[in-house]
Structure 1
Amino acid sequence: MIPENYNRRDVLKIYGLSGLGLMAYPILFSFIANEEILERPIPSSNQLLPVVGLGTWQTFDVGNSVSERKVLIEVLSKMNNYGGRVIDSSPMYGSSEAVVGDLTFNADFAKSFFYATKVWTAGRDAGINQMENSLKLLKRQRIDLMQIHNLVDWKTHVKALKSWKEQGKIKYWGITHYTDAAHSDLEEVIKSESPDFVQFNYSILSRHAEKSLFEVIQKHKTAVLINRPFEGGNLFRMVKGKPLPVWAKDFNITSWGQYFLKFILSNELVTCVIPGTSKPHHIIDNMIAGFGRMPDERARELMVSYLKKL
């Protein structure tokens, strides 16, 4: 539903409709006025997660900058207002874990988030020490999801993660990567170790995961986080200055960001997509992709075809 503290002027500006004033507001947002963001279950527990979350690679690596942290707390607040909960980080992301921990610790909405991070080192002891440090940085007694980052020394870490899950230090464990070349390795780990989550790259023009990874995911009932949904911004550069197709409105799509995200979310095996941003108006745009009608299979192919012809 539209948040009570929702800034109409700011969001109208996002879509270039500020000149339309009050008339544009009900038209643009009528489809979410009485809706909650779409949620999908984590197969291993049936816990529901909102389908749009937040990545923190680069965007939250701001150290102690007061001005940048002030903007990021607004990002988190607006995300929470729209029903978003998943925040994904990693020790690899510089100060991101610490920034997330500091900004959420005293926030009214701190307990509503689903905190995900990663272990990114080699060796059992080094991995445990790093995970313990992540708990401290995030200021959490328990991490919702701990993932093996880019499969680094995964055979070692999987034992510790399973132990931590049994002890209640983490609720779920998973594996991640960001390249097509790693998809076969992800498949093998899913088959052999049954992680709760797998995180990987997938977008409207990078569909390698559809060859066999999604099939393995479906068979083994694994939750899915999607990274690189905008291909590092390349998709936006491709469509700069280009109009959306007129039929996009049939799926409540009002921006290219929503176009790209809704394509991903129309794959029902995707649990949550985690685009990174440090801009309040971008988090609003991203979150809106979790509302309204999702494209069907015919529309998915139409979306791809239209994009390739630009």
Structure 2
Amino acid sequence: MYGRRDVLRTGAALGLLAASPWLAAASTHSGLLTRSIPGSGEALPVIGAGTSGSFEVEPGSPAYQQLQQAVAAFFAGGGRIIDTSPNYGGADAVLGQLLQEGGWRSQCFLATKIAADSREAAERQWAGTLQSLRTDKVELLQIHNLRDWKRQLPYARELKAQGKTRYVGITHYLDSGHADVERIVREEPLDFVQINYAVNAPHAAETLLPLCQAKGVAVLINRAFDDGRLFARVKGQALPGWAVEMGIGSWSQLFLKFALSHPAVTAVIPATGRLDRQLDQLKAGQGPMLDATQRLALIKQFA
């Protein structure tokens, strides 16, 4: 259990965080660009956060304390969207604890998923999800990687009608799933789609992203760094001169801006548990985006 002593210790730590220089630095990036959810007009900051891997830590550990700093910087910098899942190794419980400790739940656009193979399993999972996240509702409920979507999407819509979620969507993380996602977007009314899109995996821009734009479906982008593999490819390489001239300060920022530069994209959700990376990622949500020529140059570079 999380005792009174732990609560006091956490409160003291957050008090120190509020006076830290890095938090002041984060607040300078609070002018994040926003984009509207087509179906409602609600504005969301273009830089979000994922929890896979980075939130799979032990509460109270040094890694947790580091994550706590990164999350504080995220909200101080104007971030809102955090995307999680009940099958991310306990990440949703860690997220729920962080949101409660930091008092950030009201700031958070909380997105989670259903990943189940029956209605009964989905109901049990949903009850556990709310308990883990320490909330009674979420902002976005998604069908994870189209798993049992014909049964789970209607259930998600029932939860929406009950006020348990404001938006409903579907997700996938591989190019091989795009055809199925596209078919569902054509046939089903959706609020959100979450898909992969990166400089070395740009195929979503061929038909899927334009379709979402035409249908008025908001889009979250996962794997903008190809699970970190893109950083190995650019290790030791300087940024393109045109990127430096635009004020882009890192490959991370460039990869995120590539994804954000497609007009159908609502936000990107990179995952990190490190403060320095969080501060860097927030910078990608400011300033000009890439034009078509710049995007094409990057696609050719990483083909």
TM-score by length of 2: 0.89
Deviations 1:101-133 (A, max 9, x none): 011113133310111110111001111211121
Report the Cα distance in structure 2 between the residues aligned to 1:175 and 1:65, rounded to whole angstroms. 33
* Matching residue of 2:91: 96
- Decide which moves more: 83-92 or 188-197: 188-197
Counterpart pick for 2:102 among 102, 107, 110: 107
**Pairwise mapping of residues 1-310 of structure 1 onto structure 2 (< 5 A)?**
7=21, 36-305=31-300, 307-308=301-302
Q: Which amino acid aligns with 1:208?
A: H
What is the number of residues matched between the two proteins?
287
Match of 2:278, as an amino acid? Answer: I
Stretches of structure 2 that go unaligned for 5 or more consecutive residues are 1-17
- Equivalent residues of 2:30, 2:76 under 8 A apart: no
2:215 aligned partner, one-letter code: H
Encode CA deviations 1:196-240: one digit per residue, 9 max, x unaligned.
Answer: 100011001101112211122112110001111100111100000
Cα deviation 1:45-100 (Å, max 9, x = unaligned): 11011111111111101133432221111111000111111111001101100000
Name the stretch that deviates more: 127-136 or 64-73.
64-73
Q: Structure 1 stretches of 5 or more lacking a match? A: 12-28
How many angstroms apart in 2 are the aligned matches of 1:115 and 1:292? Answer: 26
Which residue number corresponds to residue 7 of structure 2?
A: none
Q: Deviations over 1:237-295 (max 9, x none)?
A: 00000111222123220001001111111111110101111111101111110011111
CA contact (8 A) 1:56 1:93 kept: yes
Change in Cα spacing, 1:127 to 1:218, as seen in structure 2 (3 Å) is same
Going from structure 1 to structure 2, the CA distance change for 1:292 and 1:35 (only over 3 Å counts) comes to farther
The CA distance in 2 between the partners of 1:186 and 1:272, in whole Å, is 18
SS at structure 2 position matched to 1:106: helix
Q: How far off is 1:6 after superposition?
A: 6.6
Q: Percent identity?
A: 38
Match of 2:14 in 1: none
Is the alpha carbon distance of 1:6 and 1:207 closer, same or farther for their aligned partners in structure 2, counting shifts above 3 Å?
A: farther
**CA spacing shift, 1:159–1:33, aligned 2, 3 Å:** closer
| Whole-angstrom distance in 2 between the partners of 1:149 and 1:221 | 21
Please identify runs of 4+ aligned residues in structure 1 that moved more than 4 A: 8-11, 32-35
Cα gap change, 1:6 to 1:289, in 2 (>3 Å): farther
Counterpart Cα distance in 2 of 1:225 and 1:74: 24
Return the offset for 1:302.
2.9
Matched position secondary structure for 2:102:
coil
> Contact 2:39/2:217 (CA < 8 Å) preserved in 1?
yes
Question: Match for 1:215: what amino acid?
Answer: P
Contact 1:63 1:95 in 2 (8 A): no
C-alpha contact 2:191 2:217 (8 A) present in aligned 1: yes
Kindly indicate whether the alpha-carbon contact (under 8 Å) linking 1:197 and 1:222 is maintained by their aligned counterparts in 2: yes
